[in-house]
Structure 1
Amino acid sequence: MNARQLILERRSVRAYTDQPIPNEMIEEILEAAIYAPTHKLREPWRFVLANEDGQARYVDQLMNLLAARGQLDQKTDEQRQLMRQKFADVPVYLTVLYEVQGTEDQQMEDLLATAAMIQNIQLLATELGLGCCWKSGKHWFTDGYAELIGATETERVAGVIQLGWPAVIPPLKKRTAARDKLTHF
């Protein structure tokens, strides 16, 4: 598959089979993904992997975090169970952290390098037949989540990548043509 085709075929997959992903495959993806452009070769990223037995502990702790934040207060027991099941149905959670150090410009460069590396993860996963979804915001960017995954005081969460063998691949969603967003100087 060529790069253009790979970019066009990548989707945010949210439904997975229960087939496990071998650790070697995840490591293979990461070993290639880290060749993203990174200013002065700072390589600001670090990964926290929750799969196999760690995935169940991760889901338990994530649900505890949501409860502690009051995000489950207005939910019925059935809604809480559905939420837990939705989290449990994701075979692999890969949290991507980046180091926050240096000047404001350096921190921005490091975040952007990490984002480029995350896109590499998604493209490499797609090439291997995996589905993935880059999650951000909400509970992922909180101090409680940072503590849950063992982030240091100088690390921030860039996103959580959900990985698995796709049960459903969503259809392509139309994009605004690049020429409609292009300004010539």
Structure 2
Amino acid sequence: WNVYVFNGDGKQVLLDALEPAFSEASEGQREKVTGRILNAAACMYVTAKHFETDKGNRDALLATATFIQNVQLLLSEREIGMVWRTGGLFDDARLKEMIGAEGETFIGLLQIGKYDTEDIPTPKARQPIDSHLIMFE
């Protein structure tokens, strides 16, 4: 995988690279995305390298997703918040070209930062593990 980190003034580089994709977005979406990027302490644009085989691409996707999950767990231990965005706006070929990620598969934009414990959303109801588990005994 590759990780492109945008923090400090570097977040403006990400916003500039998003400009072509923004031209096709609504003004509301543009403002929402811009605010989220500027309010994050850092953004990580994560990609998987492209392979010639389906197996290689699947393995790269799974390994990269595992990496992201491990980053999320590490940040959580340190009481740092992370949001994993996968929206189409970030999978724009022009954005990839501008940051040097052409030919790579976009996996996610991670928005990282401290959070106010009063702003933690109510957890969503989760399905019990039994609804996903098939036992053979």
SS of 1:139's equivalent in the other structure is helix
- 8 A Cα contact 2:2 2:48, kept in partner: yes
Give the total of aligned pairs: 133
SS of 2:15's equivalent in the other structure is helix
Q: Is 1:161 paired with 2:110? A: yes
The partner residue of 1:98 within 48, 56, 70 is 48
Tell me the amino acid that sits aligned with residue 20 of structure 2: L
Partner of 1:55: 11
- 8 A Cα contact 2:37 2:43, kept in partner: no
RMSD, matched Cα: 1.9
Write the mapping of 1:58-137 to structure 2, written as runs, cut at 5 A: 58-62=14-18, 64-68=19-23, 70-72=24-26, 75=27, 79=28, 82-83=31-32, 84-137=34-87
Runs (4+) off by over 4 Å: none
The partner residue of 1:173 within 101, 106, 124 is 124
SS of 1:48's equivalent in the other structure is strand
Q: TM-score, normalised by structure 1?
A: 0.65
1:102-137: CA deviation from partner (whole Å, max 9, x where unpaired): 311121011101101110010001111100011103
Distance 1:57 1:145, change over 3 A: closer
- Give me the whole-angstrom Cα distance separating, in 1, the residues matched to 2:48 and 2:29: 31
- Give me the whole-angstrom Cα distance separating, in 1, the residues matched to 2:17 and 2:93: 14
* 1:80 CA drift (Å): 6.8
* 1:96 CA drift (Å): 0.8
- Give me the whole-angstrom Cα distance separating, in 2, the residues matched to 1:146 and 1:57: 12
Tell me the amino acid that sits aligned with residue 172 of structure 1: P
- Give me the whole-angstrom Cα distance separating, in 2, the residues matched to 1:125 and 1:102: 33
Asked which structure has the greater RCO (Cα within 8 Å, sep 6+), the reply is: 1
Structure 2: unaligned runs, 5 residues or longer: none
Partner of 2:2: 46
Structure 1: unaligned runs, 5 residues or longer: 1-44
1:14-71: CA deviation from partner (whole Å, max 9, x where unpaired): xxxxxxxxxxxxxxxxxxxxxxxxxxxxxxx111000011013322432x13333x21
SS of 2:5's equivalent in the other structure is strand
- Give me the whole-angstrom Cα distance separating, in 1, the residues matched to 2:6 and 2:131: 41
- Give me the whole-angstrom Cα distance separating, in 2, the residues matched to 1:142 and 1:160: 12
SS of 2:108's equivalent in the other structure is strand
Name the % identity: 28
* 1:138 CA drift (Å): 1.5
